[in-house]
Amino acid sequence: MNLNSIILKNFFKNLKNYTLYIFALVFSVVLYFSFVLMSRDDSVAEELTSSDMMSTGFIAGSVLLVVIIVTFVMFANFIFLNRRNRELALFQLIGLTRRKIFRILILENAVIYLGSLIIGIAFGFLLYRTLLMILFRMMQIEISAGMNFSVEAALQTGLLFAFIFALLMAQNYLFLKRTQLINMLTLDKSSESNHKRLGAGTVILGILGLAMIASGYWLSTMIMDFGTLPFLFSILFLTITGTYLTFKFSVAFILNVIRRSKNGHINVKDVLSLTSIMFKMKSNAFLLTLISVISAISMGLMSLSYISYYSVGESVDAFMPHDYVFDEEEDMQFYSELLADNNIKHETVVTPTISYEATGEAIKVDTEASDGLISEFQLNIVSEEHVDGFDVDENEMIITGVSFITESYIEFELNHPVTLVNDDYTRTLELVHVGEDAILPSHVAFGFPQAVVASDVYSTLEEHHNYDEERAQPRESFAIDIAGEDSMEIFEMMEEESNPAFQSKINQYTTQVQGMGMLMFITGFVGFAFLLTSGCILYFKQIGESEDEKGSYQVLRKLGFSENEMIKGLTIKMIVTFGIPLLIGLLHSYFAVNAGWFLFGSEIWTPMLTVMGAYIILYSVFALISLLYYKKVVKESM
Amino acid sequence: MILEASDIRKSYGNRMNRTEVLQGIDLNIEQGEFISIMGASGSGKTTLLNVLSSIDRVTSGHIIIEGQDITNLKDKELANFRKNDLGFMFQEYNLLHTLTVKENILLPLSIRNMKKAEVEKQFRLVAEELDTYDVKSKYPSEISGGQQQRTSAARAFIHQPKIIFADEPTGALDSKSASSLLRKLQQLNSKSNSTIMMVTHDATAASYSGRVIFLKDGLIYSTLRKGDHSQEDFYKKIMNTQSVLGGVGVES
Ligand SMILES: Nc1ncnc2c1ncn2[C@@H]1O[C@H](COP(=O)(O)OP(=O)(O)O)[C@@H](O)[C@H]1O
Ligand SMILES: [Mg+2]
């Protein structure tokens, strides 16, 4: 038997080991290729109101994706190299030079690589259509997704993976160069001997780690009051360093307290969970920190973009009271005729308004949060007879058109007085209700809230009002409401270059939904790519650990501990191993989102819990797969 | 009679390629005996120990331990039986590396409903007997090979099992640690009247026991009893038998 046939035989015998690696590769190719295909799909660009929105989003997304994929593949390769360590050492032992081994590695990898690339591109092509349909749904576009295979996209993918291939070969080369023969033969054994007792340092640093995270969380709740850059950095520093210390020391410290309390009287469940995690988590501290911090970031971004997406309807309602609004009365007349010509039933709305400065206990403006922009608070007042659905008594006032952004710097207190001031005249009313939907367009109210008062009150206010020419405050707003449903067709019909300017609610809504939908899709895609890769990494780690612990399982089985008893212990181990990084990631992202979500939308729970729920489910799946792998190892270790 | 094995056969492989490792072994062990199994490497010593201790199943034959035929039991029942009634020592990878000495030793008691104070008492007794009490809170990697094997001996004795099975417990030890371990086993055997079955290929180790059984080609070749002989005489008798058997005392 010559050398080549030995190598070939070895390759096929090892194919089981390679599956993991091939899976990682195929998976990465699928992710990248489907993403590139989507970004090149014309059908999306055509439908968009703003087409460069698409390319910017996808470029940012693909950069992140490349970083994730490169890290993931290199990590998988590293695990794989370590597992093949003994075999590589054996090659050296029978007299192969490192150069020759390196050549073998290149050859093997090239074969695996090309195969994975082809399979990945095939699967990526299948996945891309599904993804595109999801994207369209999020953007509320109603066209069916096509199937366009792009050779350029395939080439781009091929190029990226050629680059990664070069990186991996460099990694393999360094690995071979660094390890001496003797180390190679003993590398797998070294992990057994580093079980030492925990010193006092562990206790101190363990407590410190938890304290740092807690204080980071505490500071994050005050971010609105001290939103300076150094403040932000200290929060980041505290939580990230705290996370590292937690994995490195706190977990071991807490488990050790539990263990000490048992004073040696531990059962087989403890053996497989408690004592094993104590050591493993410590040595994986850096990896776990990375995973939970990036998980937190991606969960945070996904939550925030989902919050924005979720609140699009509401935020448009808070600024646009009518289907179409106009600056001038003539414009309104122009479009009214145009619509009538096209047999579209509609209604013109003219709303008179006056502006008063508002003060009083009911209105608390946070001047710091608004950066001192709002020194006085101008309130546009409308009479109840000019708007539908409001019922206001004498001496009362309703404030409406309060968006979530307004809420971040103005606080309204119900049943407190509001004093309206214009020159010498003042009038005090009681605030009885605060609503979200606008009654005046934003070019009239400047995005500020508006007030509704009783018609008698309005007349008095109007009488005493001293109209200020300099301010040129509009006295009326002009709008059109379409009878029945407005549609993009009507908007497109109205929007001719020669026609006067106007604002359309449906157009604003569509633009925002498309933009937010795109953003959400891309953060979602990148976020889940990260989640899946980090889940895979944790799974690969578990495979490695199960190999390390095989000896223990053997001893326990021989001593008569049943498979079931051992699986119970390993279940606890999986819950803790996957649960702690997940829990920390969830907490981090909760506090991050909580610190600033109100700038993005008006509803936090549904979007955030949806994202978190998806994360929890996917992590559970990885925990379950790992457990099944352990089950197999335990079964075989007798 | 604590263990009666009759016509034990064990073969590996499929119909095409079959190795008969054990070819009909009859063996009786009395309560309180210290018995050694010797034989050349590959003669089936470990296989015999594994089937007698229910780690492996026989191809045919019956093993009756305290009146119960264990060859009929289900896997789960066998596991329970091992856990409750047997003690084990192996050549290597005996102890769990993530557990301290004390935790390793107490493992077999974790399934018993014993009071903590009682467990502590039992632990102290056994650990002191085997000179491991002082290192009780160390990890296996922090103690010597001899201490490790004494720890596994303590684990084997702690729950007062019916029989203790030991597969080459001294195989990885230097002669001083080996003799100290064997002396401890001998003491515990006579003091607590426990039954020990030990596999070894070392004549010195075997000379600590009361009976030596030689395996050859899957059958019992001969049996030696110590009787009233001194340990030295017994050692010589073992050496003689071994040289007749063909395996010189230097195999490993
Ligand atoms: N699981 C197995 N599958 C196939 N053959 C085995 C297996 N275990 C042991 N053998 C064979 O049985 C014979 C006896 O092995 P063993 O009992 O370990 O010998 P000893 O412990 O006396 O050195 C050897 O030839 C060995 O190759
Ligand atoms: Mg053996």
* C-beta B200 within 6 A of ligand 1: no
Sign of CA dihedral A251, A255, A258, A260: negative
> With bands split at pLDDT 50, 70 and 90, how would you rate the model's confidence at A47?
low
Q: Domain range holding A115?
A: 1-193
Residue corresponding to tokens 């290729």: A33
pLDDT score of A145? 67
CA gap A609, A616 in Å, rounded: 10
Q: Say yes or no: A333 and A305 in one domain.
A: no
Query: Is residue A326 situated within a structural domain?
Result: yes
Contact B79 A557 (CB under 8 A): yes
pLDDT surpassing 80 at residue A373: no
Give chain B's domain count: 1
Per-residue model confidence as pLDDT tens digits over A234-281: 999 999 999 999 999 999 889 888 988 988 888 889 899 988 888 888
- pLDDT for position A190: 44
pLDDT of res. B52: 95
CA distance A301 to A309: 12
pLDDT tens digits, A413-441: 888 888 888 878 888 889 998 888 888 88
Same domain for A350 and A302: no
Mind listing the pLDDT tens digit for each residue in A90-125? Answer: 777 777 788 888 888 888 888 888 999 999 999 999
Same domain, A230 and A355: no
Checking if the pLDDT of A1 tops 70, the result is no
Are A479 and A585 in a shared domain?
Answer: no
For residue A50, what pLDDT band results from cuts at 50, 70 and 90?
Answer: low
In this structure, the answer to whether residues A231 and A127 fall within a common structural domain is no
A198 belongs to a structural domain: no
Boundary residue ending a domain (A452, A486, A504) = A504
> What are B229-232's contacts with CB under 8 Å, separation 24+?
B231/B207, B232/B207
B85: domain CATH number?
3.40.50.300
Sheet of B34-39: strands edge to edge? Answer: B86-89, B163-167, B195-199, B34-39, B211-216, B219-225
The residue among A193, A224, A244 that closes a domain is A193
Greater pLDDT, A599 or B159: B159
A238 and A369 belong to one structural domain:
no
pLDDT (average), residues A150-157: 89
Residues A510 and A534 in one domain: yes
Question: Is B105 a domain residue?
Answer: no
Which of chain A's residues have a Cβ under 8 Å away from the Cβ of B132? none
Q: Specify if B42 maps to a domain.
A: yes
Can you give the pLDDT at residue A441? Answer: 85
Residues constituting chain A:
638
User: What are the residues whose beta carbons fall under 8 Å from the beta carbon of A162, sequence distance 6 or more?
Assistant: none
Residue A91 lies in a domain: yes
- From the list B79, B94, B107, which residue is nearest A562 (CB)? B79
- A592-624 confidence digits (pLDDT tens): 999 888 888 888 899 999 999 999 999 999 999
User: A486 and A553, same structural domain?
Assistant: no
- The answer to whether the CB atoms of B96 and A196 lie below 8 A apart is no
At B22 the pLDDT is 95
pLDDT tens, residue by residue, A185-201: 554 444 444 566 677 88
B-facing residues of A in 163-202 (CB < 8 A) are 192-197
> What CA–CA distance (Å, rounded) separates B147 from B131?
8
Query: Where do we find the tokens 């079964």?
Result: A635
Residues A105 and A250 in one domain: no
Confidence check: pLDDT of A42 > 80 = no
Which residue on chain A is closest to B49 by alpha carbon? A558
Ligand in closest contact with the CA of B18: 1
For residues A37-51, give the mean pLDDT.
71
* pLDDT band at A169; cut points 50, 70, 90: very high
- Say whether both A233 and A375 belong to one domain: no
SS3 assignment, position B237: helix
- A387 within a domain of the structure (yes/no): yes
Mean pLDDT of chain A: 85
pTM of the model: 0.85
The structure tokens 């590293």 sit at A78
Q: Show the domain range for B174.
A: 3-97+157-245
The arithmetic mean of pLDDT across residues B158-183, rounded, is: 93
Average pLDDT of chain B is: 91
Count of residues in chain B: 252
Best mutation site among B21, B25, B49 for ligand 1 pocket (most ligand atoms within 8 Å of CB): B21
Angle, alpha carbons A153-A154-A158 (nearest 5°): 115
The pLDDT tens digits for A323-350 are 999 988 889 999 999 999 988 899 998 9
What per-residue confidence (pLDDT) applies to A193? 45
Q: How many domains does chain A have?
A: 3
Write the pLDDT tens digit of every residue in B190-215: 988 899 999 998 999 999 999 999 99
Give the whole-number percent of chain A exceeding pLDDT 70: 91
Least confidently predicted of A148-152, A370-374, B38-42, B215-219: A370-374
B22 CB less than 6 Å from ligand 1? no
Residue A14 has pLDDT above 80, yes or no: no
Please check whether residue B164 is in contact with residue B193, taking contact to mean a CB–CB distance below 8 angstroms.
no
Residue B215 CA: nearest ligand 1 atom is: 22
Please identify, among A457, A485, A504, the residue that sits at the C-terminal boundary of a domain: A504
First CA to last CA distance, chain B: 33
Q: What is the pLDDT of residues B105-148, one digit of tens each?
A: 999 998 888 899 999 999 999 999 999 999 999 999 889 999 99
C-alpha to C-alpha distance for A332 and A335, rounded to whole angstroms = 5
- Show the DSSP H helices in A361-454 as ranges: 404-407, 442-445
Residues A313 and A266 in one domain: yes
Domain identity same for A275 and A345: no
* Token output for B152: 């596994």
